[in-house]
Every structure is written in structure tokens, then in C-alpha cells.
Structure 1
Amino acid sequence: MQFLYPIGLLALAGLIIPLIIHLWNVKQGKTLKIGSIALLGESSRASSKSFKINDWLLLLLRCLLLALLAFLLARPYLEKIISGKNRTGWILVDKTTFQQVFNSNKKSIDSLLKKGYEIHDFNVGFKSLTLKDTILNETKQGDSLSYTALLSAANQFVPPGAEVYFFADHRLNRFGNELPTLNYKLNWVSLNRTDTLSSWITSYAGKKYEAKSNPSSTTYEALNSADESPINITIHETSGITDSKYLIAALKAIESFTKRKIIINAAAEKATIGFWLSDNPVSSAFRSSIASDGALFQYEKGKVVVTQSTINIYGRHIKLSKRIASTGQAEKIWTDGFGNAILTNEKADSLHIFHFYSRFNPQWNELVWDGLFVKALMPIVIRAENSTDFGFEYNPADQRRLSVQQKEVTEITKTEATKTTQNESLGITFWIAALLIFVTERILSFRKKPNYVKS
């Protein structure tokens, strides 16, 4: 037996109260009526005190009642180990594909149902399904949550330690950025898909691409081969700062991926975007070197805050060690784990100004080491209208699947918890015991006959 609030046991000090009452037992004298008191002298009043316990049973009941109340304040509970072998298992399958899954895995599902497994819809709420639902041919309503989010949410519904058979494919676009931690054993039954090849047309920053996808990769080919105007970028960096090397490497990666020509520090023409990598205020000359309706990315100056947090970009969390305290009210694009601005955007003086409250420096954060750095800079550099939609890997027609090595890591992570513990409250038991003891104590107390002195 354990206690949720052990400090409540301090109430056991109240046990001294019934002990004092029983020891300090004051006996009242009895007045006797006689015919004449002429020969009697006046005597002082006296009372009898006895430091002796006369009723051990009542004392025991009263002490036990106070002890139970103290235990109730401490919230007692029992910790039980629950094994998955003793719990009913689950079968998880998307209701919209249940008919196809059952037809191709009939023998396996029938065998699990005979063992007592329950069928549940792999969607929000995890509603129960029956074999009658296989005759329903429902269409999918919009995009569902990722496998990562749903498997994690199932922790609140699946009995702890139970075994789960999950019938689904391993398409990469259904996974989030991190694998969930589960309190049940997951057996992933991979589905064989016939549509392993797909293609679609997409556009970004004025260029159209044809995407071709298969289980191992997705490739993109530009359709409009007309030459586009180059992107002119100017970079200012003060002495002692070497952040530009990380920025230039990212810009070259963007140029290679998009096939857009990027010219850095071209003296002849005005820049499309300027990067001010300095603690000093942006000079008027640098600002005027940027074309109208261009963009300015500038380091902000202020109080340096040492922190242990993350930069949140596109749902990813990148380690953040230092930032500049932000005071502006501009639109937040990147934030830290506490909601503080790391990158903001505003329109001022015909420029799109990006205020960066950190640095392209590994001592400040690990952004430059992450592959997300290139993707995060791309909407700023290329200035696409639908920059939030950029990222071909999220297209629903993407056929890529987890590699064999990724599957092994997934299974190891998901099968760690085969046993778990569950706390069972003892409050009701203690309340019932306290009630019975209280009733017994009252009955004994009222039945006790007073001692009279015989005259």
C-alpha cells in the first residue's frame, strides 16, 4: 500500500485526543439526603480523578477511527502490475478500408476475434467496429491525422499493456517527425498496395514541376524550361562574425534544388533580398541597395537570453541555446518553446523585413546543422505566394515508404512497454471501514450504563 499525499499521515497525531479523554476520567460525587445536618461539620468539595482506562474497546475504536481518517487524507492506493497477456487485444484498421483489409486478411482477423480481440476504427475516438461494417463502403472525408498522432492518442484508449494488431501501409507521408512512445505492444501488419506508382503536377514560385513517385523515391522535373530572372542576394557581415558561410551553403542548396540562378553580392543590380548579419543597425546604404518590394533579413540587437529551449519550425523542434529578447509586435513566423519570437515579419518602407532574434551560429542554436534550414529559408529567398504549402513530401499521392532500417527502429520503439502499472484507489474501502467503526463506537457508547453509588 502506498500514499499519494503522505503528509496527510501527520493527522495521526490526533490519536492522543481519545487517549487523554480516557485517562482523565472525572467521576462526579452523589448527593445524599439525610434528616438532620446539625451534628455534621462543613467539608470541602472534592472530586475523584482516576488515571485508569476503564473501557479498552471504546478507546481502540476511537483511535482506529481517527487513524482511518488520517489514511484517507493521505489517499492510499495499491500499485498493480498489468501484463499485456491478461488484457484484451485490439485490431486497429481504418473504417474506410475495412472491407478490403478484411478480404485480404480474413484468416488472421478471424483468428484474433476468436481470441477475444476487439476491432476499432483507426481514427479519432477509436470507435468499435463489427464484421457488419465490412459491407459499408465509406469514402474518406478529408485528410486524417498522421499515424504518429493517432498511435500516440491510442494510449488513452487501449488497455495498458494490451497487444494491438495494426493493419496499415508504411507510406512515409502518413508519419510525423517523431515516433510516439506507446504503453501497448504494437504489431504492424503491412498492407500490399497495387498503386505503387503515381505522378502529379505541382507549382512553386512560378515554376511547374512533374512529380513521379514510387515506394523508394520521389523525383521532380521542371516543365517550363524558360529562363527566369536570377535572384540577387546581398550579404553584409561585420568583422568577427562568420555566419555567412552557413547562409551561403544553404543558398547554394536552394539554387541546386529549384534550378533558380542565385547571384550573391552582385554590385551592378539591386538585390532581391539582403541579409544583414551584424549587431549594428542596418545602414541606409544597405537598405537602399535592396529593390522595392524586396526583403530584408536582419539580426536584431538587444539583451541576450541564455535558454534551454527549441526553435519551432514546421512542427519540428531544433535546439536553441541563446536568443535576443524580442519586444516587437510583428507577425511571428518562428518561435521558441515558450512562444517567444525567433523570427518575425512585417512590411515597412516598401520592404518585407524579417527580424531574426538569434544567429546563424551553432553556439546559438543547431539550425544550421539541420536539413530543415534550407527548407525554412526557401520561402524567404524565393518569395512564393503559397510558401506555407511548399514541401512536396506532403503530397497525398506520394508513394514513398519506410525503409527496412526505419521499420526495425519503429518496431523496437513500439514494443518496449509490454508491462505497465495501474494505481487502484483504496479510498472507498477506507470510507466503508470508517463508517462501520463509527456506528459500532456510537452503539457501544450509548449502551454503556453509568455507575451509581448505592445509598
Structure 2
Amino acid sequence: MHFLYSIGLFALAGIIVPLIIHLWNVKQGKILKIGSIALLGESSSASSKSFKINDWLLFVLRCLLLVLLAFVLAHPYLKKIVSARSKNGWILVEKNNFPRVFKTHQKTVDSLLKKGYEIHDFNVGFKPLNLKDTVLDETKQVNTLSYTALFSAANQFVPPGAKVYFFADHHLNRFGNELPAVNYKLNRVPLKQSDTLSNWIATYAGKKYEAKSNPSNTTYQALNSSDEEPIRVAIHENSGTTDRKYLIAALKAIESFTKRKIIINAAAEKASIGFWLSDNPVSTDFRSSIAPDGTLFRYEKGKLVASASFINLEGRQIKLSKRIELDQQAEKIWTDGFGNAILTKNKTNNLNIFHFYSRFIPQWNDLVWDGLFVKALMPIVIQDKKSNDFGFEDHPADQRLVSQNGLIEQNKTEIEAKTIKNEPLENLFWVAAFLIFTGERILSFRKKPNDVKN
């Protein structure tokens, strides 16, 4: 049992009142008739006092009454854990895709409807659908909202713990890198897909790529690679450190993918980008080795903060163990799980400067072990003024599908939704107090002073 206002229990101190009354029991004197009073002198009247409880039942009732009133003032209640699991599940399907779903999965849909499942549009608001919507025109505009964002929004609509059947094509470009945490059990029902092939031309930083996509993968082939200038990179690090090797490995991967030559520490030419991997201030010579309108990527020095967090990159969470505290406002490019800056950017004296508040070593973060390290560096090494980040995965013609095993594994953890319900008890205490008060009054009126007359 819990109390909403525990301060009300101070009223229990009122128990001392019936205790005093019963202990200080003043008895009225008895009148005696005798034959002669001649020998008796005049004396003052006296009363008999007894420090003991003569009527235990009445005393207990009065004490219990005060206890109950104190409990009522404290507003007692019981905490009950009630399962919020919904008996009726949901069927999620895009409204424009519902005719196709019903045609290919009619038996499944009918079976779920008989069990009490509700059909809802997999779109903002999750409006209810019915079988009349199966005659809609399938040529209507297709919903392009992210499935990941809709799964997260559904937490506010789907009853906690309910079973949800999701019918969709499940193209990879509709999902993020990770599914959000959901409070319902998600069952994916993919629609049958034929082996579809598509291709398109993508452009990044003045370079053209031919993309070929099928349900299993998408590949890119660089086209005009012979007419491009190489990328010159300058790297400085303190002696005895290993940051450089992780950076060079990433640069080699970028070179292999883009088919664009990357030259490191070429003394004869100015670099288009310089990496200052040191806590020391950037030297004048190193800064002057970068071409005008080039890029400087530098480590920041400051207060070291042990951070059990992660770096947010492309919807992924990469473990972060240490960071440098930022003491000023800046344009944030990468952040940690608490919104603290990990990478910021500004422009000073025709130089694009990236300020990095961590390090390229595993002791600080897991970035250097993750494939996203290469993709995250891509827009810094090969800058495209028309694009903020690199990658062609969001192209609508991308045919890749989400791995069925991967998605089911993500959703194996079902959150057992439980609601804590407070059940008030003061009404019960009021009833008990009334009954006890009634009994106490009856018992009290029956007790009359004992006048003994002889």
C-alpha cells in the first residue's frame, strides 16, 4: 500500500488523546448511608483516580478510528501492474497499395480481420481502412515517407504490446540504417518481387557514375575518370601516434571507389585538404601548404570528457568513449547522443575548417572500425558544392530489398507493455471508519456511571 500524501500520517499522533482519556479515569464517589454521623467530622469531597485502562474495547475502537482517519488524509492507494497488451492487433498497409495486398494476401487479411484486427493506412495519422478501399486506383501517387520514421510515429497510435502485420515492398531505400525501438510486435509480410533491374547516372563533385541495381545489390562504375585532377592531401601527426594509418586506409578506400587518384604529402604542390592530427596549434607552414579555398581538418584541444555515448552518423550510432568539450557555438556536422558537437565547420580566410572533437583511434571511438568512416570522410575529401553528403542509396530506382532475417532479428525484442494503475483505497477506509464510529457511539452510550446507593 502506498500513500499519495504521506504527511497525512502525522495525524496518527492523535492516538494520544484516547490514551490520556482512558488512563486518567476519574471515578465518581459512592454515596453510603450509615446510622450515625456524630463521630464523623466534616471533610472535603474526594474523588478516586485510577491510572489504568478499564474498558479496552472502547479504547481500541477509538484508537482504530483515529488511525483510519489518518490513513484517509494520506490518500492510500495500491499500485497494480496491468498488462496493456491489446487483444486486437493492427494491419498496416499503404492505402494506395492495399488493392494489391488484398489480391495477393486475401486469406491472410480475412483471417486477421476475423480475429479482430484493424486495418490502418501506413501513413501520417494511420487512418483506419476497410475493404471498400481495395477498389482504389493503384496508379495514385506512391507514399515516399521513410518507413523508419513511420514505425517510430506508430508508437503513439498502436496499442502497446499489440501484434502488427506490415504488408509492403520493403525496398532498402525506404528504411534507415537501423529500425527504431517500438512498443508493439512487428511482423513483416513482404510482397512478392520479381528480379527487377534498373540503372541510372549519378553525378558527384563533377564526376559521373553509372549505377546498376537489383534486389540484392547496387553497384557503381566511375565514368569520366581520366580527365580529373588528383586530390592532394597533407597529413601531420605527432610522433608515436597511430592516427595517420587509419586515415590513410580510409583515403585508399575512397581512391579505390571513386577511381580518383589521391596523393599524400606531395611537397611540390599545394594540398586541397590538410589533416592536422595533433593537439598542438596548427603551424603557419602547414596552413600555408593548403591551397586557397581548400580544407583544413584539425584536432581540437580542450577539456577531455569521458563519454559513454555514441556518434550519430547516417542514422547509425557509433560508440564514443572520449571527446573534447566545446565551449563555443558552431555549425555542427556530427554530434553525440546528447547533441554535443563532435565535428563542426566554419570558414576563415578562404579556408574551410573542420574542427574534430575526438580522435581517429579506437581508444576514443569505434569510427575507424566502421564502414561509415569512409562514407563520412567522402564529402570532406571530395567536396561537392551542390551536395551536403555523399551516397546514391536514396535514389528512387534503387531496387535493393531489406534482408528478411535482419529485419526479423531487429524486431525479436518485444516490449511487454505494462501500465501501472493506482487504485485509490480511501473509500474503503471511510466505510470502515464510519462502521467503527457507529460501534464506538453505541458502546459509549451503554456505559453509564455506576451510582451505588445503600
Whether 1:43 and 2:45 are equivalent positions in the alignment is yes
| Matching residue of 2:36 | none
Q: Give matches, 1:235-254, under 5 Å.
A: 235-254=235-254
Larger radius of gyration: 2
| Matching residue of 1:146 | 147
Q: Secondary structure at the match of 2:323?
A: strand
| Matching residue of 1:289 | 289
How many residues are treated as equivalent by the alignment?
438
Kept in 2: contact 1:272–1:290 (CA 8 A): yes
Give the Cα separation in 2 of the matches to 1:335 and 1:310.
8
CA shift for structure 1 position 130: 1.5
**1:334-362, CA deviations, whole angstroms, 9 ceiling, x for partnerless residues?**
22223222211111121111111221111
Q: Give matches, 1:386-405, under 5 Å.
A: 386-403=386-403
| Matching residue of 1:203 | 203
**1:110-162, CA deviations, whole angstroms, 9 ceiling, x for partnerless residues?**
12212222112223443322112333448457631324x43344445444443
Root-mean-square deviation (Å): 3.6
Kept in 2: contact 1:345–1:353 (CA 8 A): yes
Q: Structure 1's 421 and 351: CA in aligned 2 closer, same or farther, altered over 3 A? A: closer
| Matching residue of 1:110 | 110
Give the Cα separation in 2 of the matches to 1:286 and 1:421.
58
Which range moves more in the overlay, 157-166 or 441-450? Answer: 441-450
Q: Give matches, 1:416-427, under 5 Å.
A: 416-417=413-414, 420=416, 422-423=418-419, 425-427=421-423
**1:227-278, CA deviations, whole angstroms, 9 ceiling, x for partnerless residues?**
0122111112231122111111111111121222211111221111111122
Give the Cα separation in 2 of the matches to 1:199 and 1:114.
44
Letter in 1 for 2:407: T
| Matching residue of 1:79 | 81
CA shift for structure 1 position 195: 7.9
Give the Cα separation in 2 of the matches to 1:244 and 1:120.
53
Letter in 2 for 1:126: F
Kept in 2: contact 1:87–1:159 (CA 8 A): no
Whether 1:323 and 2:323 are equivalent positions in the alignment is yes
Q: Structure 1's 171 and 262: CA in aligned 2 closer, same or farther, altered over 3 A? A: same
| Matching residue of 1:53 | 56
Return the TM-score normalized by structure 2: 0.83
Kept in 1: contact 2:18–2:63 (CA 8 A): no
Letter in 2 for 1:230: P
| Matching residue of 2:215 | 215
| Matching residue of 1:432 | 427
Q: Secondary structure at the match of 2:246?
A: helix
Give the Cα separation in 2 of the matches to 1:453 and 1:271.
112
Whether 1:408 and 2:405 are equivalent positions in the alignment is yes
Structure 1: where are the runs of 5+ without partners? 33-38
CA shift for structure 1 position 31: 11
Q: Structure 1's 312 and 89: CA in aligned 2 closer, same or farther, altered over 3 A? A: closer
Q: Structure 1's 453 and 321: CA in aligned 2 closer, same or farther, altered over 3 A? A: closer
Q: Structure 1's 423 and 332: CA in aligned 2 closer, same or farther, altered over 3 A? A: closer
Give the Cα separation in 2 of the matches to 1:350 and 1:259.
28
Q: Secondary structure at the match of 2:268?
A: coil
Q: Structure 1's 265 and 386: CA in aligned 2 closer, same or farther, altered over 3 A? A: same
| Matching residue of 2:98 | 98
Query: Percent same amino acid at aligned positions?
Result: 56
Give the Cα separation in 1 of the matches to 2:305 and 2:417.
41
CA shift for structure 1 position 390: 2.5
Q: Secondary structure at the match of 2:312?
A: strand
Whether 1:132 and 2:128 are equivalent positions in the alignment is no
Q: Secondary structure at the match of 1:427?
A: strand
Q: Secondary structure at the match of 1:436?
A: helix
Give the Cα separation in 2 of the matches to 1:65 and 1:14.
8
Letter in 1 for 2:421: S
Kept in 1: contact 2:119–2:129 (CA 8 A): yes
Q: Structure 1's 350 and 186: CA in aligned 2 closer, same or farther, altered over 3 A? A: closer
Which range moves more in the overlay, 432-441 or 244-253? Answer: 432-441
Kept in 2: contact 1:232–1:273 (CA 8 A): yes
Kept in 2: contact 1:231–1:261 (CA 8 A): yes
Structure 2: where are the runs of 5+ without partners? 31-40
Which range moves more in the overlay, 149-158 or 197-206? Answer: 149-158
